[in-house]
Each structure stands twice: as structure tokens, then as C-alpha cells.
């Protein structure tokens, strides 16, 4: 019989999160972000955090809420995005920022989860990204050595999950959540729908439950759109 990893809400899911920890947070823009876990981090008021995430949300949503509260000491990300506060803190020197090419960030998280300590990639060679890193030639092309990323806690958001921690993501939420789920010492999954073991198609599972230590069903997801773009209405069409 599968062990249940269900906890009763974000308060129980974030037990053990303390100041100074390194956290991974899944999502892409505002898609697939662990909204309820972020809200609990705000409530807890933990500080001096190192956050690994593709970007930092917007000023008043997602990781932007933690930036507003000065809870983040360092961001490891690939995109400043639409967050004016992120940009302000970075340019003023208030926030330490490690900007990484997006593919390299994804692979560094995946490598951390797979137990691969480092890898060579051509991305970033000849730029500030490569400063201080080992360079080797492969097939006549220079590659830089990138180290894997891991975290004390990884927070991911899935469309569906079962009580054993198996997860299914939807659309763009698959961009960073699956690899970050693998790379956390403790991985917390929040899901829109929590189902009993056996209800998910085994062939459709993106993250096996072995990578997840805690899971809960979130409520009232806002699901904002970072940039809404529409065509002008043309009555003649």
C-alpha cells in the first residue's frame, strides 16, 4: 500500500522552513507557480532566502511579494521580467542576483535532481556568465563548466496529484516544475486536484511520487496572466 504524503495545507507543508535557506520555486512567468506556498512564506516572514526560480513574478504577485518584504537575499534566475522591484533592488545592489541562461538554469536544476554534479555547455561562453568558470573545447567549440543546483526545499505546483505524490502538470507549468521537484531535499507539491492512488494514468505522470515528500490541495488559485495581449475588435470580420 502506498504511503500517503498528504499534509493539511501550506502551514504543515512548510514546517521546517527557516531563515537563510535555499528554495526552488517552480513556474514560468506566472504560470504554474506555487501560489499558496509563496503566500505561506510571506506569512512566516522567513528572511535571508536564496530563491532559485526562472523569474520573480510581478511586483504584487508571486515571488514579487517576498521581494517587497525584503525576504530574499539572493535570486538565482534567468529573467528579471515584469518585476520593477526586482530590477530596482538588483540595480541598487540591495539584492544579489545570479542571472543564468534559461536553458542552463533548467539543466542545472535537472542535473541536481539526477545527481550529476556539473556539466559543460556552450551557453554563456564569452559573456559575464563565463567569468571564473572552467572552459573546455568539444568538437572545436568552447564550453563552460556549470555546477548543478539543489535546494533545502523545492516548491512546485501541479494540475493533479495523488496521495503518494505522483504529479501531472498542465501546459507551460511543465517548464521548470518537473526538474525542480527532483532537486529539493524536501519537495512540497501543491495541486489543484488531489486524487487517490490509482486514479492517475501511469503513462501521464510527469513527476513520480518518490521525489515528493509533502503534498496538499490548494484553494482559490488566482492564475494571473503576466502580459495579456489581444487583437483589436473588428466588427467587419
Q: What is the DSSP string of 5-36?
A: -B-SSHHHHTTT--TT-EEEE--BTTBT--HH
Task: Return d(Cα 228, Cα 4) in angstroms, integer.
Answer: 39
Pick the CATH number of 10-116+150-217 from 3.40.50.720, 2.60.40.10, 3.40.1080.10, 3.40.50.300: 3.40.1080.10
* Grid-cell match 509533502, residue found: 214
Specify burial of residue 34 (Cβ count, 10 A radius: 0-12, 13-18, 19+).
Answer: buried
Pick 119 or 81 by higher pLDDT: 119
What pLDDT, in 10s, does the model give residues 16-50? 999 999 999 999 888 899 999 999 999 999 999 99
Task: Return d(Cα 184, Cα 113) in angstroms, integer.
Answer: 7
Q: What is the pTM of this model?
A: 0.91
Q: Where are the domains of the chain?
A: 10-116+150-217
**What was the pLDDT predicted at 1?**
63
Task: Return d(Cα 173, Cα 29) in angstroms, integer.
Answer: 10
**What was the pLDDT predicted at 221?**
81
**What was the pLDDT predicted at 227?**
72
Using pLDDT thresholds of 50, 70 and 90, give the confidence band for residue 113.
very high
What pLDDT, in 10s, does the model give residues 175-196? 999 999 999 999 999 999 999 9
What distances in angstroms separate CA 8 from CA 12, 136, 186, 208, 211, one per listed residue?
6, 49, 16, 21, 19
Amino acid at each position: 500500500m502506498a504511503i500517503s504524503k498528504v499534509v493539511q495545507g501550506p502551514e504543515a507543508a512548510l514546517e521546517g522552513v527557516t531563515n537563510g535557506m535555499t528554495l526552488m520555486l517552480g513556474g514560468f512567468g506566472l504560470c504554474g507557480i506555487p501560489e499558496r506556498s509563496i503566500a505561506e512564506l510571506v506569512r512566516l516572514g522567513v528572511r535571508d532566502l536564496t530563491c532559485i526560480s526562472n523569474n520573480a513574478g510581478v511586483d504584487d504577485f508571486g515571488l514579487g511579494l517576498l521581494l517587497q518584504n525584503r525576504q530574499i537575499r539572493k535570486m538565482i534566475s534567468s529573467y528579471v521580467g515584469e518585476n520593477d522591484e526586482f530590477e530596482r533592488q538588483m540595480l541598487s545592489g540591495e539584492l544579489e542576483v545570479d542571472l543564468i541562461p534559461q536553458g542552463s538554469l533548467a539543466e542545472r536544476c535537472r542535473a541536481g535532481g539526477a545527481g550529476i554534479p556539473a556539466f559543460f555547455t556552450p551557453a554563456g561562453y564569452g559573456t559575464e556568465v563565463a567569468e571564473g568558470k572552467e572552459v573546455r573545447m568539444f568538437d572545436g567549440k568552447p564550453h563552460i563548466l556549470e555546477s548543478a543546483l539543489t535546494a533545502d526545499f523545492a516548491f512546485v505546483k501541479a494540475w493533479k496529484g495523488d496521495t503518494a505524490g505522483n504529479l501531472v502538470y498542465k501546459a507551460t507549468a511543465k517548464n521548470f516544475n518537473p526538474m525542480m521537484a527532483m532537486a529539493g531535499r524536501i519537495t512540497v507539491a501543491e495541486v489543484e486536484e488531489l486524487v487517490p492512488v490509482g486514479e492517475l494514468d501511469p503513462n501521464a505522470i510527469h513527476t513520480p511520487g518518490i521525489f515528493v515528500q509533502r503534498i496538499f490541495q490548494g484553494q482559490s488559485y488566482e492564475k494571473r496572466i503576466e502580459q495579456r495581449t489581444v487583437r483589436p475588435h473588428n466588427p467587419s470580420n
